[in-house]
């Protein structure tokens, strides 16, 4: 993950020796292991900014996507009580990853159900603080993995004014953050979720598939001969 420098679709890239690099899980192929790099590190980085612990109530909005399939699994490893929001077609997948409860967004709006959560992770972009504040427990955290430009500066403002923690913006990719899901994967506690695999030469097709907004987990690019 190269963060705001982009360039991650290149066949080769140079990174610092002390950058976000670690050994591949021995029990995973490279195709499976690469799912840890984006979803795993992003979910871990956002969770690390909260006080999530055993018994915390966590809602993951967009639970069948790349970051949130990782988030469901990471939250369950902390023994949190996880609610996943996804389409009914993905209920079985999200439950298999560890969700205690699944809300079908096509039939129910979690923002209107009257439940509160210690942590809400939004990977869809429809749970701004203005809409989701009533769904947070006192002192709870709203993790805006997807946010518009207005939401980025407002996150700190809402944190200061509300008593809740609102997190948005880029995350730092570090070796420690990458090592955490790798350790879980080596212990058999983190599963790779892959919807489709494309050759790097088909990058345009891969983007069209992702941008349609209905993928499950990750879409993988394979370098020729890799």
Q: Specify if 51 maps to a domain.
A: yes
Non-local CB neighbours of 144 within 8 Å, separated by 6+ positions: 122, 127, 128, 129, 151, 155, 166, 167, 168
Q: pLDDT tens for residues 149-201?
A: 787 888 988 989 898 999 998 777 788 888 889 999 999 999 999 999 999 99
48: domain CATH number is 3.90.180.10
Q: Is residue 98 part of a domain?
A: yes
Residue written as tokens 């504040």? 133
SS (H, E, C) 176-209: HHHHHHHHHHHCCCCCCCEEEEEEHHHHHHHHHH
Q: Which two tokens stand for residue 215?
A: 């993928």
Residue 203 forms part of a structural domain: no
Classify strands 81-86 and 218-222 as parallel, antiparallel or unpaired.
unpaired
Residue carrying structure tokens 């058999």: 188
Band of the pLDDT at 1, cuts 50, 70, 90?
Answer: low
Query: Does any domain span residue 212?
Result: no
Find the helix packing angle between 175-186 and 66-77, rounded to 10°. Answer: 70
Instruction: Output the pLDDT for position 223.
Output: 85
Is residue 205 one of the residues assigned to a domain?
A: no
Cβ count near 188 (within 10 Å): 9
Q: How many domains does the chain have?
A: 1
pTM attached to this predicted model: 0.91
135: containing domain? 28-193
Dump strand ranges (E) for 41-187: 57-61, 81-86, 101-104, 117-122, 136-144, 165-168
Query: Looking at the domain assignment, is residue 210 inside a domain?
Result: no
Residue 166 · residue 155 · CB < 8 Å:
yes
- Both structure tokens of 13: 């890239």
Domain membership of residue 109 (yes or no) is yes
pLDDT band at 64 (very low <50, low <70, confident <90, very high): very high
In a domain, 12, yes or no: no
pLDDT tens track for 103-162 = 999 999 999 999 999 999 999 989 999 999 999 999 999 999 998 778 788 898 898 989
DSSP 89: G
Calpha distance 68→4 (Å, rounded): 21
E strand or H helix at 4 = none
Q: Is 153 helix (H, G, I), strand (E, B) or coil?
A: helix
């Amino acid at each position: 993950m190269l963060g705001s420098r982009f360039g991650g679709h290149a066949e080769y890239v140079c990174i610092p020796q002390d950058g976000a690099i670690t050994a591949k899980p021995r029990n995973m192929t490279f195709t499976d292991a690469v799912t840890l790099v984006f979803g795993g590190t992003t979910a871990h980085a956002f969770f690390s900014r909260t006080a999530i612990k055993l018994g915390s109530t966590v809602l993951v909005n967009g639970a069948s996507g790349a970051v949130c399939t990782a988030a469901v699994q990471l939250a369950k490893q902390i023994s949190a009580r996880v609610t996943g929001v996804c389409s009914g077609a993905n209920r079985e997948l999200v439950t298999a990853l560890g969700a205690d409860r699944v809300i079908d967004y096509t039939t129910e709006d979690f923002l209107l159900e009257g439940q509160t959560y210690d942590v809400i992770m939004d990977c869809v972009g429809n749970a701004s603080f203005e809409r989701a504040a009533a769904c947070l427990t006192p002192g709870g955290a709203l993790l805006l993995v997807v946010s518009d430009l207005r939401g980025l500066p407002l996150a700190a403002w809402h944190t200061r004014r509300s008593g809740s923690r609102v997190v948005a913006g880029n995350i730092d990719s570090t070796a420690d953050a990458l090592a955490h899901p790798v350790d879980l994967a080596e212990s058999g506690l983190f599963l790779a979720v892959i919807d489709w695999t494309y050759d790097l030469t088909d990058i345009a097709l891969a983007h069209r598939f992702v941008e349609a907004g209905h993928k499950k987990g990750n879409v993988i690019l394979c370098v020729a001969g890799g």
